[in-house]
Amino acid sequence: MNVNLDTKKHFVVPKEPVLDEMTTLFKILGDKTRVRILYVLFEAERPVSEIVALVGKSQSTISHQLQTLKQAGLVKNRRDGQTIYYALADTHVITIFSQMIQHATEMDSKNK
């Protein structure tokens, strides 16, 4: 769905199901552990053990958060033998996360 944010044109608020998905996405992105996981995956696909080491949380916590991110369609996984690898789900997620990083970095530099 393309949304035209040009204020000179008529703007229609999305229907309830779309708003529900949007608010769910913001809630999921409101957790620092999940954002750390996404940041680690923004750089590359990684096995769970590496995500655990980089994020600095227990395997149980990381596995739970990865499941939440997967259910939300933000990450995908693949199995290679006994190792499970996770990556960002698609280019939409990469774009969203890239924009979040850029915005947060700009806001941080303005506040200094």
Mean pLDDT of 102-108: 90
Residue 52 pLDDT > 90? yes
Whether this model's pTM surpasses 0.85: no
Token pair 């590359």 is found at: 44
Structural domains of the chain in order of their starting residue, each with its CATH number: 18-111 (1.10.10.10)
Residue 55 pLDDT > 80? yes
